[in-house]
Amino acid sequence: MADSIVVLGGGVIGLSCAFEAARRGMKVTLIEPGTTGGQASGAAAGMLAPYSENTEQPDAFFQFCLRSLRLYPDWIRDIEELSGMSAEWVRSGSLNVFMHEADVLPVETRMRWQNEWSARAELVGAAELRKLEPKLTASAVAGLYTPSESHVYAPKLVEALEAACRKLGVSVVEQAGALLDASVNPGGGATVRFSRLDGPVHAERLVVCAGAWSGEYGRWFGLSVPIHPIRGQICSFGHAAGEVRHMVFSSQAYWVGKRNDRLVCGASEDVAGFETSVTERGIGRLVRSSGRMFPHLAGKETLHRWAGLRPATRDGLPLLGEIAGTPSVIMAAGHYRNGILLSPATAFIVADLLEGKRVEPALAAFAPDRFTPAAKIGLGH
C-alpha cells in the first residue's frame, strides 16, 4: 500500500479520493490551486440521478452511476458523522415531464429496461402528475416518476467532505497557485511544483483530480488527455418549502427544490473556454422555461445566477485508473455532468488502486490512456 499520496485538485472528486484513502490509513496531502469546491463541484445542482441522466441503455457508464448511487447512503452517513455537518440529502424522487403524447412511447421502452435495474419507475398520467406536483403546468400530459433518485446540496457536501478529510488528518493545501511542472521519478514516485508553494512536492503516488483542468497534466506524463470545459449556467428562485417536491426534468431544463428555500434551475451547456461568467442568453432560456413549466414562476426574478465548468471528455466517459507504464500516477477526471453522483464510486476505485488491487475489467472503458497512441504510453518519465 502506498503511504504518501498527493491528490491534485480540491473538487468533489479530489476530496472524495482523499477522504477514502485517508480512512483506509494512508497519509494524504491534497493540493488545490485556488479554493476547495471553488469550481464545478460548488456550482452543481447536486442531483443523484442515474436514470434521468442515462436514458438510452444500461452501458458501462450507467452501471458505474448506479453503483455510485448505491454507495451513497453509507457514504453520506460517514461524511456527516465525521464532519458533524449535513450535506442536505433529500430523497425527493424525480419526475420526467412530457408535454406531448408522442414523447410517451419511447419512455415506456426506457422504463422497462430501467426497472430491470431497480428504478421502480412508473408512468403517471396528467391527473396523477398534478397530485404529485401541484404547481406544474396544466399542459403536461404525462410523467415518469422515479422514486429512487435524490439530491444533495453540492456546496455543503464539499464543505462536509473537506471537514471530514481534515479530521482524518489529510493535509489540505489551498491557494497553491499554478502548476509549474510534474514529473515521474525514474526510481518510483512523482514530483509536482506549484507557483505559490515553496519547493517541489514529492509523492509515492499522485492522483490527478483536476476536473476541467486535468488536460494540463497530459504533457508532463506523455498522455493525450482530451478533457475540455463545458460551461453550465444555472440559477435559483426563492420558493416556499415543498412548493416543488420532486426533481423535475423537462426537455429544456431541470428544477430542484433545496432545503434553503431555493429552487435551483439548470443548466445550459455551452463552450466558452475557462470562462465562468453567466450570460443573459444562457439564463434567459432557463427563466423562460421555468415560467412555462411552473406558472407561479412566470415573471419572477432569479435570486442567484452562477456557472461552472463540467469536465467533458471526447467520448463522454471519465478517465479513471492508473496510466499503463506509469503506475505512480492515477487519473480520476472527466466526470462531466455526473461528478457529484460518481464521487463515492470513483473514490473507492482510486483507494483500491492505491492499495494495490487490480483494475476491474468492467472499468476498461474508462482507461485514462485510451486516447494515447500505444507507442507513447509509459514514455512520460
Ligand X SMILES: Cc1cc2nc3c(=O)[nH]c(=O)nc-3n(C[C@H](O)[C@H](O)[C@H](O)COP(=O)(O)OP(=O)(O)OC[C@H]3O[C@@H](n4cnc5c(N)ncnc54)[C@H](O)[C@@H]3O)c2cc1C
Cα three-residue angle 64-168-173, rounded to 5 degrees: 90
DSSP assignments along 291-357, one per residue: HHH-GGGTTPPPSEEEEEEEEEETTS--EEEEETTEEEEEEEE--GGGHHHHHHHHHHHHHHHHTTP
Which parts of 130-159 interact with ligand X (CB under 6 A)?
none
**CA-based diameter of the chain, in Å?**
68
**Closer by beta carbon to ligand X, 142 or else 258:** 258
Closest approach of ligand X to the CB of residue 68, in Å: 9
Mark 320-339 with x for binding to ligand X (rule: CB under 6 A) and - for no binding.
Answer: -------------x-xxxxx
Q: Does position 211 bind ligand X by CB under 6 A?
A: yes
Q: Does position 11 bind ligand X by CB under 6 A?
A: yes
Q: In this chain, which stretch among 82-90, 99-107, 120-128, 308-316 interacts with ligand X, using CB under 6 A?
A: 308-316
Closest approach of ligand X to the CB of residue 284, in Å: 16
Q: In this chain, which stretch among 9-17, 55-63, 278-286, 366-374 interacts with ligand X, using CB under 6 A?
A: 9-17
Q: Does position 267 bind ligand X by CB under 6 A?
A: yes
Mark 221-260 with x for binding to ligand X (rule: CB under 6 A) and - for no binding.
Answer: -----------x-x--------------------------
Give the alpha-carbon dihedral of 78, 81, 86, 90, to 10 degrees. 50
Closest approach of ligand X to the CB of residue 100, in Å: 26
Looking up cell 433518485 gives 149
CA distances for 306 relative to 40, 236, 302, 319, 349, angstroms: 11, 9, 11, 27, 31
**Closer by beta carbon to ligand X, 29 or else 296:** 29
CA distances for 370 relative to 182, 212, 271, 373, angstroms: 21, 18, 24, 8
Q: Does position 32 bind ligand X by CB under 6 A?
A: yes
Which of 2, 5, 14, 322 is the binder for ligand X (CB under 6 A)?
14
**Closer by beta carbon to ligand X, 108 or else 181:** 181
Which of 50, 266, 282, 344 is the binder for ligand X (CB under 6 A)?
266
Closest approach of ligand X to the CB of residue 82, in Å: 19
CA distance 97 to 120: 17
CA distance 213 to 204: 22
Q: Which residues of 90-112 are buried (b: 16+ CB within 10 A; e: fewer)?
A: bebbbbbbbbeeeeeeebeebbe
**What is the size of the binding site for ligand X (CB under 6 A)?**
41
**Closer by beta carbon to ligand X, 100 or else 281:** 281
Residue 372 corresponds to which cell in the numbers above? 494515447
Q: Which amino acid is present at 77? A: R
Closest approach of ligand X to the CB of residue 98, in Å: 21
Which of 6, 22, 44, 329 is the binder for ligand X (CB under 6 A)?
44
Q: In what order do the strands lie in the sheet with 262-266?
A: 122-125, 142-146, 94-98, 247-249, 254-257, 262-266, 227-238, 304-313
Q: Does position 9 bind ligand X by CB under 6 A?
A: yes
Q: Does position 179 bind ligand X by CB under 6 A?
A: yes
Mark 191-210 with x for binding to ligand X (rule: CB under 6 A) and - for no binding.
Answer: ------------------xx
Residue 355 corresponds to which cell in the numbers above? 492499495
Closest approach of ligand X to the CB of residue 115, in Å: 22
Q: Hey, how many other C-beta atoms are within 10 angstroms of the C-beta on 260?
A: 12
Which of 19, 213, 220, 249 is the binder for ligand X (CB under 6 A)?
213
Do 269 and 282 contact (CB within 8 A), yes or no? no
Provide the β-strand partners of residue 307. Answer: 233
Do 307 and 278 contact (CB within 8 A), yes or no? yes
Which parts of 45-104 interact with ligand X (CB under 6 A)?
45-47
Do 298 and 291 contact (CB within 8 A), yes or no? yes
Q: In this chain, which stretch among 73-81, 161-169, 290-298, 306-314 interacts with ligand X, using CB under 6 A?
A: 306-314
Q: Which residue ranges make up the site for ligand X (CB under 6 A)? A: 8-14, 32-34, 38-41, 43-47, 179, 209-213, 216, 232, 234, 266-267, 308, 310-311, 333, 335-341
